[in-house]
Amino acid sequence: MNARIGIPIGLFSLLMIGCGGGEPAGEGPGTAEAPVDGGTAVISTVSDFDAFNELVSTDYDTNQTMSYILYMNLIQLDEDMNYVPYLADSFWMPEDGLSLSFRIREGVTWHDGTPVTADDVIWTYEMSVNPDIAYANSAYFQYVTRAVKADDRTVRFDFSAAHSDAPMDFTEWSIMPKHLLEGIPAAEMRNAPYNRNPVGNGPFRFVSWQSNQQVVFEANPDFVFGRPHLDRIVVRIIPEQTTVLTELLTGGVDFMRAVPPAEMHRVEESDDHYAITYPARSYTFLVWNTRNPLFESATVRRALTMAINRQEIVEALLYGYGTVAVSDAMPFQWEFNEELEPWPYDVEQARRLLAEEGWTDHDGDGIIDKDGRPFRFTLRTNQGNDLREDIVVIVQNALQQVGIDAQPQMVEWNTFITDLKDKKFEAAVSGWSVDFKFNPTDTFSTEAIEAGQYNYPSYSNPTADSLMDLALSTLDREAAKPLWNQYSEIIHQDQPYTFLYYLNERVGVNNRLRGVEADARGHLINAAEWWIPEDMQRRGAEQPVAVAGEAPR
Amino acid sequence: MTGFIIKRTLQAIPILLGASTLIFLLMHAAPGDPTSMYLRPDIDPVVIEQMRKNLGLDQPVHVQYVRWLSSFATGDFGYSFSQKRPIVDIIKDTLPNTMLLSGIALLVIFAVGVVIGTIQAVRQYSWIDNVATIGAFFFYSMPSFWFGLMLILLLSYKLQWLPASQMTSVNFEFLPASEQWLDRLKHLLMPAVALGIGGAASVARYMRSGMLEQVRQDYVRTARAKGLSERVVIFKHAMRNALIPIITLLGLYLPFLVGGAVLIETIFAWPGIGRLIVTAIFQRDYPVVLATAFVSAIVVVLGSFIADVLYTVVDPRVRVDEGEA
């Protein structure tokens, strides 16, 4: 439900920025040592933040920073995707599932000393649903009819209908300080000076923001769970990946996200750094337009999937930093069907299935045909995304082996998207970044076939539709699980997409930075627990500390 | 002189207006708008429509143009869509950084170019001339971003002498003033050289041929015949005349240094106006693109104006207030 956007990163490429999942991965060396306070950690990011205000920000990185550094969200997810209290010390739901209440932890204050109260939560909710604000994640509140103040520390959200995983909508929603923002008209919220000079309630306080240079946070000594270990976190904005990597390897930056897969070996071979990988919150797929006679048969679509060596794509293009995808649920989501195996790479079987459907090379021109129509189509992706362009080439070669002529076509991003939404394409390589809450109605339900909606393949299966509806209104995860398993089995058979891969996120960390954990939830999930051994802490000029592998500065 | 300035200023107005209008139309003709980045199926189309309305994008293009032009004319550049703050503030933040980088690069271009070109001319066909010629062609042909990356690879990654990015170190604010100065210099060196070296190479070529032309002139022979020292002949007589075409180049380089720093600023994470322009174009941040393009256009006009004025300084025969300069 998190509507953070992918912004262009690198010089000329459009990639979706994703992050996420599964087991908490890797920790620094010497984790047996006891953490000490002090020191500055330097994190790099490729593009600047937009606004440290939940109501106006649309950027993924900014959201992560708000959720784990600057603010406290009502509740959080643990590594198994269970809900744990955070700003709220308890939360409860009646058996009918028609409301959800949160009690705010006692003693939490904003960084200016004002206590956090139920009024802040209610005000933030009211602004989030105010149409003039145009809050990007307003879908969090699609079932909420009102927010009621039960007492100074307790808020109850009333729902119009019971729905599955209701607390999920509150895990990435940061509460804003009413006392600092309430005077600002909704339509002017996006230009409020507060956005660049925020007052949070989380483990770190905002210090300064130099546009396109750096943002500085410092430890909040009054943090309700105790002072974080680091004195400061400096986020430096460096757009060029080669430059960031150099900074990482020479000690200028301690923590680099999105290390290019081809360069990961430099981090792994370095004695002064360690690598963390974890499932990104995104997957990449080939979409077949099922309205096109070429792709209307599920058997043909399965044959197409089998003709493509997806493991090769993972190995050759991602250097192994990914896994072959099997469904639209991600492995870190509880809705994921563990039983499902990707269709095997089997060219013979693909040929057989195509022949069964009448697709053979009748006229001997090397292209299979049926009723006089050759199996020829254009395979699109968005221009400037090198990875996807490479995928198109690999797929083109693979399909040639079974006598299918896929003609690559690179299209400008906005045109690409508009044509996908209007279903004016034959086949395309695209991707989704996903949320923790699994909801396929936007992408695979019959309703979403309408022009401008996101059911790109125009996929329609009444059984899948009713399974989605049923599962999404089932309160209990255990009861919903079999429904989702059944749903994903149908998608697996029908192959509206050929699922290509789930990407793995790659992080490089300097040895000095200890205690780092990262998983599908993000790269900052435990920033409050990061620490730096005393002899490795950066100091001011009075005591420059040389660390192995660090450039003297 | 005053008349000349007024005349040039009046001439500049239609140029600036035309350039801005053209860019406005081009930006709006490009597919997509700032909200087309929000590609998430779970964003309500109503929300996106409201975002467009908040940004004024729901209006027809001609209405947007008139709105923009009228606020622009009163000096109000508006707010950035992406940075969500006044564009005047953004330009105030970024322009000085670019000016600093470009200024040093300009110094590299002309100081290095003129010195090398002069040496080459004076020592024509010596080994030093040949080496410099090959070097000049090499650096002139190399794209600046490639050279920048090579500098990072060598000086930051291998030798670890200089920092690879940004204007200052992380601990800058804790450094004593003396070391802050050094810290800034260290960060400035690589981008300035990477930005300037290609220009320096080309200036050296111009300077070499200009000098060679001058030293063959009769007045130089006369100066030598008068018994003037070689130093005076070269620097006082020949060089002054050889510099005239170089001054034209200076005017041409000024705008290049605002726009030309785009790639270098991106590679070295330099928070300048070049990087701002690129980001703004990608994000379809129309007001920022327009404002920065306007600033660039002013620099272009200013550059050619400065070049004209400088002519009069080096060449007493040119008088700006006597007709067309």
Q: Is the dihedral of CA A259, A262, A264, A269 positive or negative?
A: negative
B93 min Cα distance to partner chain A (Å): 8
Query: Phi and psi (nearest 5°) for A287?
Result: -105, 130
What is the residue whose two structure tokens read 């909040």? A220
Which of A40, A48, A443 lies closest to B41 in CB terms?
A: A443
Q: Which residues of B touch A132 (CB under 8 A)?
A: 50, 54
pLDDT (tens digit per residue) in B264-297: 999 999 999 888 988 888 888 888 988 888 888 8
Report the distance separating Cα A457 and Cα A477, nearest Å. 29
> Bridge-partner residues for A151, per DSSP?
A154
Residue B83: pLDDT band (50, 70, 90) is: confident
Q: Which residues of A touch B153 (CB under 8 A)?
A: 246
- Is the minimum CB–CB distance between B146 and chain A shorter than 8 Å? no
Per the CB < 8 A criterion, the answer to whether A237 and A26 are in contact is: no
A415 min Cα distance to partner chain B (Å): 7
B78 min Cα distance to partner chain A (Å): 11
Model pLDDT, residue B42: 63
- Is the minimum CB–CB distance between B183 and chain A shorter than 8 Å? yes
A240 min Cα distance to partner chain B (Å): 5
Residue A97 backbone class (left: φ over 0; alpha: ψ -120 to 50; beta: rest): left
Per the CB < 8 A criterion, the answer to whether A99 and A116 are in contact is: no
Per the CB < 8 A criterion, the answer to whether B85 and A191 are in contact is: yes
Chain A residue with minimal CA distance to B187? A553
Chain A residue with minimal CA distance to B278? A11
Q: Which residues of A touch B40 (CB under 8 A)?
A: 3-5, 433
The mean pLDDT value for B317-323 works out to 57
Q: Which long-range contacts (CB under 8 A, 24 or more apart) does A423-426 make?
A: A423/A289, A423/A291, A423/A449, A423/A451, A423/A456, A423/A458, A425/A289, A425/A378, A425/A380, A425/A456, A426/A289, A426/A292, A426/A294, A426/A295, A426/A377, A426/A378, A426/A379, A426/A380
Residue at A498: amino acid letter: T
Give whole-number Cα distances, A504 to A59, A67, A270, A274, B144, in Å: 20, 22, 20, 16, 33
Task: Give the H/E segment covering residue A210.
Answer: strand A204-210
Chain A residue with minimal CA distance to B90? A211
Q: Which residues of A touch B167 (CB under 8 A)?
A: 213
Spell out the per-residue pLDDT of chain A, length 553, in tens. 333 333 332 222 222 223 333 334 444 455 567 899 999 999 999 999 999 999 999 888 999 999 999 999 999 999 989 999 999 999 999 999 999 999 999 999 999 999 999 999 999 999 999 999 989 888 899 999 999 999 999 999 999 999 999 999 999 999 999 999 999 999 889 899 999 999 999 999 999 999 999 999 999 999 999 999 999 999 999 999 999 999 999 999 999 999 999 999 999 999 999 999 999 999 999 999 999 999 999 999 999 999 999 999 999 999 999 999 999 999 999 999 999 999 999 999 999 999 999 999 998 899 999 999 999 999 999 988 889 999 999 999 999 999 999 999 999 887 898 899 899 999 999 999 888 889 999 899 999 998 888 999 999 999 999 999 999 999 889 999 999 999 999 999 999 999 999 999 999 999 999 999 999 999 999 999 999 999 898 765 333 333 333 333 3
What is the residue whose two structure tokens read 């879908």? A139
B61 min Cα distance to partner chain A (Å): 18
Q: How do beta strands A376-382 and A405-411 pair?
A: parallel
Taking every pair of Cα atoms in chain B, the longest distance, rounded to a whole number of angstroms, is: 86
In chain B, the domains with their CATH numbers are: 91-284 (1.10.3720.10)
Model pLDDT, residue A113: 95
Report the distance separating Cα B307 and Cα B318, nearest Å. 12
A448 min Cα distance to partner chain B (Å): 10
Report the distance separating Cα A285 and Cα A301, nearest Å. 13
Q: Which of B82, B171, B185, B277 to mutate to test the interface with A (most CBs of A within 10 A)?
A: B171
Per the CB < 8 A criterion, the answer to whether A453 and A442 are in contact is: yes
- Is the minimum CB–CB distance between B77 and chain A shorter than 8 Å? no
Q: What is the pTM of this model?
A: 0.86
Q: Quote the DSSP letter at residue A412.
A: -
Chain B residue with minimal CA distance to A191? B84
Report the distance separating Cα B321 and Cα B325, nearest Å. 8
Model pLDDT, residue B259: 66
Q: What DSSP line would sit under A241-267, residue for residue?
A: HHHHHHHHHTTS-SEEES--GGGHHHH
Residue B61: pLDDT band (50, 70, 90) is: confident
Give which of A478, A481, A538, A473 is closest to A512, Cα–Cα: A538
B35 min Cα distance to partner chain A (Å): 10
A138 contacts B42? CB cut-off 8 A: no
Give which of B70, B118, B97 is closest to B237, Cα–Cα: B118
B32 contacts A191? CB cut-off 8 A: no
Q: Which two tokens stand for residue A383?
A: 């221009």
Give whole-number Cα distances, A342 to A68, A308, A436, B170, B324, in Å: 35, 12, 22, 47, 76
B269 min Cα distance to partner chain A (Å): 5
Using DSSP, state whether A413 is helix, strand or coil.
helix
Q: Which residues of A touch B274 (CB under 8 A)?
A: none
Report the distance separating Cα A235 and Cα A48, nearest Å. 9
Model pLDDT, residue A292: 95
CB pairs under 8 A between A and B: 176
Q: Which residues of B touch A540 (CB under 8 A)?
A: 171, 174-175
The mean pLDDT value for B33-41 works out to 67
A250 contacts B164? CB cut-off 8 A: yes
Q: Which long-range contacts (CB under 8 A, 24 or more apart) does A144-147 make?
A: A147/A121, A147/A122
Q: Which residues of A touch B184 (CB under 8 A)?
A: none
Report the distance separating Cα A490 and Cα A496, nearest Å. 10
Query: Phi and psi (nearest 5°) for A429?
Result: -100, 125
Model pLDDT, residue A6: 32
Report the distance separating Cα B288 and Cα A485, nearest Å. 49
> Bridge-partner residues for A506, per DSSP?
A277
Chain A residue with minimal CA distance to B184? A553
Greater confidence, B307 or A449?
A: A449
CB proximity under 8 Å: B 147-176 to A? 149, 152-153, 156-157, 160-161, 163-167, 169-171, 174-176
A244 contacts B165? CB cut-off 8 A: yes
Report the distance separating Cα B154 and Cα B190, nearest Å. 11
A540 min Cα distance to partner chain B (Å): 5
Report the distance separating Cα A377 and Cα A400, nearest Å. 12
- Give the side-chain half-sphere CA count within 13 A for A394: 21
Q: Which residues of B touch A187 (CB under 8 A)?
A: 54
Q: Which residues of B touch A191 (CB under 8 A)?
A: 79, 84-85
Q: Quick one: B141 exposed, middle or buried, by C-beta within 10 A (0-12, 13-18, 19+)?
A: exposed
Q: Which residues of A touch B157 (CB under 8 A)?
A: 246, 249-250
B160 min Cα distance to partner chain A (Å): 5
Report the distance separating Cα B110 and Cα B104, nearest Å. 10
Report the distance separating Cα A284 and Cα B97, nearest Å. 40
Neighbours of A526 (CB within 10 A): 19
Which of A211, A234, A242 lies closest to B93 in CB terms?
A: A211
The mean pLDDT value for B74-88 works out to 87
Q: Which two tokens stand for residue B23?
A: 């860019």
Per the CB < 8 A criterion, the answer to whether A308 and A517 are in contact is: no
pLDDT higher than 80, residue B225: yes
3-class SS string, A17-31:
CCCCCCCCECCCCCC
Per the CB < 8 A criterion, the answer to whether A488 and A330 are in contact is: no
Chain B residue with minimal CA distance to A137? B43
B41 contacts A448? CB cut-off 8 A: yes
Give whole-number Cα distances, A455 to A381, A467, B37, B40, in Å: 17, 17, 18, 12
Report the distance separating Cα A356 and Cα B87, nearest Å. 63
B249 min Cα distance to partner chain A (Å): 29
A414 contacts B50? CB cut-off 8 A: no
Model pLDDT, residue B35: 76
> Bridge-partner residues for A237, per DSSP?
A45
| % pLDDT > 70, chain B | 93
Per the CB < 8 A criterion, the answer to whether A84 and A75 are in contact is: yes
Q: Which residues of A touch B94 (CB under 8 A)?
A: 211-212
- Is the minimum CB–CB distance between B31 and chain A shorter than 8 Å? yes
CB proximity under 8 Å: B 219-278 to A? 263, 266-269, 271, 275-276
Per the CB < 8 A criterion, the answer to whether A105 and A87 are in contact is: yes
CB proximity under 8 Å: B 278-307 to A? 279, 282-283
Give which of B116, B146, B144 is closest to B131, Cα–Cα: B116
Give whole-number Cα distances, B284 to A497, B78, B86, in Å: 31, 15, 16
Q: What DSSP line would sit under B7-36, residue for residue?
A: HHHHHHHHHHHHHHHHHHHHHHHSS--GGG
3-class SS string, A331-363:
CCCCCCCCCCCCCCCCHHHHHHHHHHCCCECCC
Q: Which residues of B touch A541 (CB under 8 A)?
A: 171, 174-176, 179
E-state strands within A258-345: 273-288, 322-324
Using DSSP, state whether A520 is helix, strand or coil.
coil
Model pLDDT, residue A29: 52
Q: Which two tokens stand for residue A541?
A: 């000029």
Model pLDDT, residue B24: 87
Model pLDDT, residue B21: 87
Model pLDDT, residue B321: 53
Task: Give the H/E segment covering residue A236.
Answer: strand A232-237
Model pLDDT, residue B324: 43
Q: How do beta strands A204-210 and A214-219 pair?
A: antiparallel
B149 contacts A210? CB cut-off 8 A: no
